[in-house]
Amino acid sequence: MDSKNSVQKDFIREIINKDLKTDKYDGRVHTRFPPEPNGSLHIGHAKSICLNFGIAQEYGGKCNLRFDDTNPAKEEKEYVKSIIEDVKWLGFDWEGRLFFASDYFNQMYDYAVQLTKAGKAFVDDLNAKEISEKRGTLTKPGINSPYRDRSAEENLDLLERMKAGEFADGEKVLRAKIDMAHPNLNMRDPVVYRVLHASHHNTGDKWCIYPMYDWAHGLEDSIERITHSLCTLEFENHRPLYDWFLIQIGVYRPQQIEFARLNLTFTVMSKRMLLELVEGKYVHGWDDPRLPTISGMRRRGYSPASIRNFCSRIGIAKVNSIVDFEFLEHCVRDDLNKTAPRFMGVLHPLKVVIENYPEGKVEEFEAVNNPEDSKAGTRKIPFSKELYIEREDFMEDPPKKFYRLTPGREVRFRYSYLVTCKEAIKKNGEVVELICNIDPETRGGYAPDGRKVKSTIHWVSAAYAIDADVRLYDRLFTVEDPAGQKDADFKDFLNPDSLQILKSCKVETSIKDLKPLDRFQFERLGYFCIDSDTTKDKIVINRTVTLRDTWAKLQKQQMNK
RNA sequence: AGCCCCGUAGUGUAGUGGUCAACAUAAGAGACUCUGGAUCUCUAGUCAUCAGUUCGAAUCUGAUCGGGGCUGCCA
């Protein structure tokens, strides 16, 4: 994939280069991707996955897949499965190093005992509300808990009894003893263990106390001998705690480095909001193609390569930024243009009868499967008297710069003939059928006299076309930053037209040989893929993204005039 | 308000004291084309501001302004 002397040089790789030079970690590079199994992965996670696994590949290092499953109240086995599938689909390999934070619960507890024995932790009887009240504020220091000065022996006894299940949820916590006046709130005697009588997806009912993130995460990294622990910006203020714990216990200490999470226009990226959309049925599940989830994007037709490429092209930095959704679309088009086989399909069919073409005659024309890939070969497509073309490709009274079919005008029907429209048949004012003539001399689409036509349009033979449902997707929200709207619910900005279902579209016969998730291009329309709802009797197609459409842009400009 | 982080074309990144500040994308103009696709040209920046150091500053220093994060027994 990427070479070792990669030109990429973001600030993280710079740090790694320096660490390699100074031999800080004996020349090792070992990262990890640590999702919490409490939701589906999204494109923001993909950024982290590409960063962590990408760095490991570039430096000849390793990257672990580790589930940070320290909170049984929110986590589910289902998510573990889907996350594994997503990382694999994106094209990364953890080489068997699949770990769980819960694998280390015993060791984490032993370390907590060590910390307590050293007088660096205490058991607090205060409840959550009282702890919060005594924490102080951004400007005012906190107040010590009245239980802060218990003896190490008493704390140890209490901790053991917490573990043994003698206390109810919330009755007691283990807290680190740091500094209630610390300007960094995270250092004001943070909670290390809480009592939680909940069944864990991995450890079952073995535990009734569970470690907090700040305590657990550094230990997980340390145990796995991670060199560079990459996380998002909001953990910046946690780094002093991360370091503090590991220093107190006296174990191997990785370097935590924070980078900015990914934001995309016209969508939301928070797990909470995504969950709300899924559970509130605003979308059809985690893999709804309108969602920025990996599973949604997969179903929508995004290729793993396009997502990887996007992640590498947006770069890594510490500034909060919001990437244009259009850039992601550019990356899919870029990849699919090179890889997707072409077909012809008509989304809004308009019947065309070729007046001077014999009834019952069928000719086969050779079509190029992918002009960007000569190895993709060609295929035969049937031409006959009755055809369908795109309704948009005909206008009775066209504006300037409309090059397509219009009464009296000749255009090319791709790969077949030059065709002239003779008459538009109307019913109740609506054009329902076109009567056209071909020039028999232009067989194959070339005029012997060298005359040019302004446009080439796609078509399918009425007799050979098959029907399909096509699902068109638009942006999920109507505003660039739905999550950032003041005094408003992000759901108020849901786009009511984000999904449009087209019935009885007419597509090339060969589409029926495609399997779910197969990606392809309908010429002149966009990139599509077969949806998993496809059955023997019904083909369902998703539109991944339209082609760049300069005509649509022109129309928009004219409208604005 | 305390602490921490960050300000380079519309957007996302590069640039780490020395030619006209680079690349991508978007936008605009044009060329080419059997996809109005792809491809190819051209067009764009008060480097947040001010002051300093220096022969020379986007880069170093200071101040100011602006943006973000932090007060879960979430991660």
In Å, what is the separation between the CA of A435 and the C1' of B11? 47
d(CA A394, CA A292): 35
Answer yes or no: is pLDDT of A485 > 90: no
- A10-259 topology per CATH: Rossmann fold (3.40.50)
Task: Kindly report, residue by residue over A423-446, the tens digit of the pLDDT.
Answer: 999 999 999 999 999 999 999 999
Note whether A10-259 and A345-458 share their fold: no
Q: How far is CA A185 from the centre of its chain?
A: 33
Q: How confident is the model at residue A486 (pLDDT cuts 50, 70, 90)?
A: confident
Within 10 Å of residue A275's Cβ, how many Cβ atoms? 15
pLDDT at position A556 = 84
In Å, what is the separation between the CA of A522 and the C1' of B35? 9
The residue annotated as part of the active site, out of A24, A36, A318, A363, is A36
pLDDT at position A6 = 41
Task: Kindly report, residue by residue over A240-278, the tens digit of the pLDDT.
Answer: 999 999 999 999 999 999 999 999 999 999 999 999 999
Per-residue pLDDT averaged across A533-555, rounded? 95
d(CA A20, CA A37): 33
ipTM of the complex: 0.96
d(CA A249, CA A527): 55
Provide the residue count of chain A.
561
CB proximity list for A262: less than 8 A, separation 6 or greater = A43, A44, A47, A269, A314, A323
Q: What is the mean pLDDT of chain A?
A: 96
Q: Give the CA distances from residue A85 to residues A79, A294, A428, in Å, rounded to whole numbers and listed in that order.
A: 10, 10, 53
Task: Kindly report, residue by residue over A305-337, the tens digit of the pLDDT.
Answer: 999 999 999 999 999 999 999 999 999 999 999
Q: Is strand B within 7 Å of residue A238 (CB)?
A: yes
Nucleotide in closest CA–C1' contact with A259: B5
d(CA A264, CA A535): 34
d(CA A324, CA A433): 41
Q: Is strand B within 7 Å of residue A188 (CB)?
A: no
Per-residue pLDDT averaged across A226-245, rounded? 97
Q: How confident is the model at residue A224 (pLDDT cuts 50, 70, 90)?
A: very high
Q: Give the CA distances from residue A546 to residues A210, A287, A347, A512, in Å, rounded to whole numbers and listed in that order.
A: 48, 20, 12, 21
Q: Could you say which nucleotides of strand B lie within 7 A of any protein CB atom? A: 1-8, 10-16, 24-28, 34-39, 67-75
pTM above threshold 0.90: yes
Helices A304-314 + A325-339 axis angle, to 10: 140
Per-residue pLDDT averaged across A381-408, rounded? 96
Helices A105-117 + A239-249 axis angle, to 10: 80
Q: Is strand B within 7 Å of residue A313 (CB)?
A: yes
Q: Which chain A residues in 532-561 sit with Cβ < 7 A of strand B?
A: 547-551, 553-554, 557
Sign of CA dihedral A173, A176, A177, A182: negative
Report the CATH number of the A271-341+468-560 domain.
2.40.240.10
Pairing of β A121-124 and β A173-176? antiparallel
Is residue A253 annotated as a catalytic residue, yes or no?
no
DSSP A337-382: HHHPPEE-EESSEEEEEETTS-TT--EEEEEES-TT-GGG-EEEEE
pLDDT at position A8 = 53
A122 within 8 A of A175, measured Cβ to Cβ: yes
Is residue A36 annotated as a catalytic residue, yes or no?
yes
d(CA A134, CA A111): 26
Q: How confident is the model at residue A1 (pLDDT cuts 50, 70, 90)?
A: very low
Q: Which chain A residues in 358-397 sit with Cβ < 7 A of strand B?
A: 370-372
The residue annotated as part of the active site, out of A261, A391, A443, A475, is A261
Domain ranges in chain A?
10-259, 271-341+468-560, 345-458
Task: Confirm or reject CATH 2.40.240.10 for domain A345-458, answering yes or no.
Answer: yes
pLDDT at position A480 = 95
d(CA A161, CA A173): 11
Q: Which chain A residues in 322-341 sit with Cβ < 7 A of strand B?
A: 322-324, 326-327, 330, 333-334, 337
pLDDT at position A229 = 98
pLDDT at position A558 = 79
pLDDT at position A235 = 97
Answer yes or no: is pLDDT of A54 > 80: yes
Q: Is strand B within 7 Å of residue A320 (CB)?
A: yes
Task: Kindly report, residue by residue over A76-87, the tens digit of the pLDDT.
Answer: 999 999 999 999
- Of A468, A459, A467, which Cα lies nearest the Cα of A387? A459
- Of A136, A247, A229, which Cα lies nearest the Cα of A181? A136
Nucleotide in closest CA–C1' contact with A211: B73
In Å, what is the separation between the CA of A4 and the C1' of B58? 30
